[in-house]
Amino acid sequence: MALNGETKTESTNGEQVSRHQEVGHKSLLQSDALYQYILETSVYPREPEPMKELREVTAKHPWNIMTTSADEGQFLNMLLKLVNAKKTMEIGVFTGYSLLATALALPDDGKILAMDINRENYEMGLPIIEKAGVAHKIEFKEGPAMPILDQMIADEKNHGTFDFIFVDADKDNYINYHKRLIDLVKVGGLIGYDNTLWNGSVVAPPDAPMRKYVRYYKDFVLEFNKALSADPRIEICMLPVGDGITLCRRIK
């Protein structure tokens, strides 16, 4: 499927015809087969056993569409090792797939402050995280992230201390998170914002069929992407991994 929700199909006379499909495709690549190839060739064969187990448990959850994809989990795990991250934060845990990818990448004395409004989903994945021997790195806080961030910001000691922050929660608040996170991440540190290509809807025509939640958050994501692009405090890189992840490196 093309990025804008338009699919090219061949008619009987060989002509290319376009038709619009619902925006909400899981992968942003040009075909399912290509995405499947990536998963089967380089992701699933190298996926750590606990992540595989958590992915399979999460697949049975009625909201399984929310989970971070396996290729993105692999990317996060590699990235955290590359930057030698030790102190990290995650906003939006769900059952913990990206959290586990992070926890497995950090050194034994690494720390992750993880926040989610829903503890029940986190507890679904927790036994697997414990079995993997990395639960001691995680401090889970239940509740909306914003007041927790405000509390942290109020104490100057927290400023500029995080090596890496991953945001995968309420898209209508990303801009507000960014205002706070930019002070909490260290200069040279990274913030990763997930879903910045928002199911491809960022380039969909206004009349394209779209799931309600995709349509609702679309304008917030568009505004957010513009704001990041204009922010002189960061360098950015938007990657078409998963549903789009924008990496921001704080430079001042």
Ligand X SMILES: C[S@@+](CC[C@H](N)C(=O)[O-])C[C@H]1O[C@@H](n2cnc3c(N)ncnc32)[C@H](O)[C@@H]1O
198 burial class (0-12, 13-18, 19+ CB within 10 angstroms)?
A: buried
Q: Site map for ligand X, 84-103, x if CB under 6 A?
A: -------xxxxx-xx-----
Q: Which of 115, 182, 204, 210 binds ligand X (CB under 6 A)?
A: 115
Please say which residue, 91 or 138, places its beta carbon nearer to ligand X: 91
The C-alpha atoms of residue 113 and residue 129 are separated, in whole angstroms, by 15
From the list 33-41, 45-53, 64-72, 205-213, the region that binds ligand X by CB under 6 A is 64-72
From the list 153-161, 162-170, 205-213, 236-244, the region that binds ligand X by CB under 6 A is 162-170
- Smallest gap from Cβ 144 to ligand X, in A, equals 4
The C-alpha atoms of residue 163 and residue 83 are separated, in whole angstroms, by 8
From the list 23-31, 35-43, 117-125, 184-192, the region that binds ligand X by CB under 6 A is 117-125
- Smallest gap from Cβ 100 to ligand X, in A, equals 8
HSE-CB at 147 with a 13 A cutoff on CA atoms is 6
Please say which residue, 116 or 163, places its beta carbon nearer to ligand X: 116
Residue 118 as a binder of ligand X (CB under 6 A): the answer is yes
If one counts every other C-beta atom within 10 angstroms of the C-beta of residue 131, the result is 13
Q: What residues contact 44, with CB distance under 8 A and at least 6 apart? A: 52, 70
From the list 20-28, 111-119, 128-136, 199-207, the region that binds ligand X by CB under 6 A is 111-119
Residue 196 as a binder of ligand X (CB under 6 A): the answer is no
| Closest-CA residue to 90 (of 183, 186, 193, 159) | 193
Residues in the interface with ligand X (CB under 6 A) total 20
The C-alpha atoms of residue 55 and residue 62 are separated, in whole angstroms, by 13
Q: Which of 113, 145, 167, 245 binds ligand X (CB under 6 A)?
A: 145
Question: DSSP H helical segments within 155-204, as ranges?
Answer: 174-184
26: tokens are 């899981």
Binding site for ligand X (CB under 6 A): 66-68, 91-95, 97-98, 115-118, 121, 144-145, 168-170
